[in-house]
Amino acid sequence: MQDTFFLVIFYVTAAVAVLSTLLMISRLNAVHGLLYLIVSSLSLAIIFYLLGAPFAAALEVIIYAGAIMILFVFVVMMLNMGHKGVEQERQWLKPGGWIGPGLLALVLFAVFVPALSGGLVSTGPRLVSAKAVGIALFGPYLLVVELASFLLLAGLIGAYHIARPPEITGDDSDSLTSARHHDDIAIEPLQGAG
């Protein structure tokens, strides 16, 4: 009884995940896409929980649905594409454009399915508590934690450096303004061309 209930929840959530992902990749409006991505992440979190990984489920919600999505939303808001963006997307997403990639993905999936059916030596999903994960993280996997922090540091410094106006050398006192000013001049002809 409980098993059946478990399975029903699993297959329903899986269907939701697939559907929301499908909707996400086909949306014209970026914000809609992001919302579907959150739905997809949440359903994955449920599946993580069903698989006995509550720690990962929480992580999925907090980091994916929480942090990473927020970054995307910020950027979408900054770019402020609005209706113009939707119109452009409509032009870009011709139905014909889906055929090739779709076929490719189907064949890829066809390779996956037989390979991933059976042959796995396992005893079914088992609960791995947050405590066990914590012990592993700060035991044998201590270096993963440390190195992951350096990975984030690399991302941080990279993003900080790339998205920031450049250093201005010389006697220009109001350096930041002049850098932006310069940038505007640089993109003007392109604006006209676009």
Partner 1 sequence: MVDVALIDHVFILAAILFCLGLVGVLVRRNIIFMLISMEIMLNAAGLAFIAAGSAWGQPDGQVMFLAVVTLGAAEVAVALGLTLLLFRRYQSVDVDNLKELRG
Partner 2 sequence: MLDWLWLVPGLPFLGFLILFAGQGKMPKRWTTLVGVGSVGLAALVTLLIAVEFYGTPEAALTYRQTLWTWMEAGSLKPGFSLYLDGLALSMLFVITGVGFLIHLYASGYMYEDEDFPRFFTYTNLFVAAMVMLVLADNLVLLFLGWEGVGLCSYLLIGFWYRDPENGRCARKAFIVTRIGDTAFAIGLFLLFRELGTLDIQDAMSAATATWPRDSGTATLIAVLLLGGAVGKSAQLPLQTWLPDAMAGPTPVSALIHAATMVTAGVYLIARTHVLFQLSTDAMQLVALVGVLTLLMSGFTALTQTDLKRILAYSTISQIGYMFLALGVGAWSSAIFHLMTHAFFKALLFLTAGSIILSVHHQQDIFKMGGLRKALPVPFATFLVGCLGLTALPPTSGFFSKEQILNAVWSSPTGGQLIWAGAVLGAFITAIYTFRMFFIVFFGEQQTEAHEHKGFKFHVPLIVLAVLAAVGGFFHLPLTSALPHAGHDHVPLGVEVTAIALPMVGVLLAYLLFYRQIPALRQLFETGPLKSLAAFFYSGWAMDWLYDRLLVKPFVALARWNSKDLVDQLPAVVSRGAALFHRLLSLSQNGQLRYYVATMALASLVVMAVAVYTG
Partner 3 sequence: MTMTELHALLPIIVIAGISVVLMVMTAFFRHQRLASLITYGGFIAAAVLVAGQTGSGPQQATPLLIMDEYSRFFSLVILVTSLAATMLAYDYLRRSDVFKEEYYILLSLAVLGAVVLVSSNHFAAFFIGIELMSVSLFAMVGYMVQGRTRRAVTLEASVKYMILSGVSSSFLLFGIALVYADFGVLSFSGLHSLLGLHSTSSYSQIGAAMIVVGLAFKLSWVPFHMWTPDVYEGAPVPVTAFLATVSKVSVFAIIVRFFIESGAFRLEALVQALVWIAVLSMLVGNGLALLQQNIKRLLAYSSIAHLGYLMVAFIAIAGSNLANTNLAVEATAFYLVAYIVMSLIAFGIITTLSSPERAEEAETLAHFRGLFWQKPGLATAMGLALLSLAGIPLTIGFVGKFYVFAAGVAGQLWLLVGVLIVGSALGLYYYLRLIMEMCKAPDTEPAISREETPLENRVVLSALGLVLLVIGIFPNGLITTVHAAVAVLR
170 versus 192: smaller Cβ distance to partner 1 = 192
Each residue 128-157 as x (binds partner 3 by CB under 8 A) or -, in order, gives: ------------xxxxx-xxx-xx-xxx-x
DSSP assigned state of 192: H
CA–CA separation, 74 vs 160, rounded Å? 15
Q: Which long-range contacts (CB under 8 A, 24 or more apart) does 19-26 make?
A: 26/93
Structure tokens at 162: 């790339």
Residue 18 interacts with partner 1 (CB under 8 A)? yes
The distance of closest approach from Cβ of residue 115 to partner 2 in the complex, given in angstroms and rounded to an integer, is: 5
Question: Which is nearer to partner 3, 1 or 143 (by Cβ)?
Answer: 143
Interface positions, 160-189, toward partner 3 (CB under 8 A): 160-162, 164-169, 182-183
Q: Binding partner of residue 167 among partner 2, partner 1, partner 3, none, CB under 5 to 8 Å per kind?
A: partner 3
Burial code (b: 16+ CB inside 10 Å, e: under 16) for 28-39 equals eebeebbbbbbb
Q: What is the DSSP letter of 194?
A: -
The residue written with tokens 């700060």 in the block is 138
Give whichever of 75 and 108 is closer to partner 2, judged by the CB atom.
108
106 binds partner 2 (CB under 8 A): no
Q: Which does 142 bind (CB under 5 to 8 A by kind): partner 1, partner 3, partner 2, none?
A: partner 3
Tokens of 122: 């396992």
Q: How far is the CB of 64 from partner 2 (least distance, A)?
A: 23
Q: Where are the alpha helices (DSSP H) in the chain?
A: 2-26, 30-50, 54-59, 69-79, 82-92, 99-115, 130-137, 142-162, 175-193
Site residues for partner 1, 33-62, by CB under 8 A, read 33-34, 37, 40-41, 44, 47-48, 51-53, 55-56, 59-60
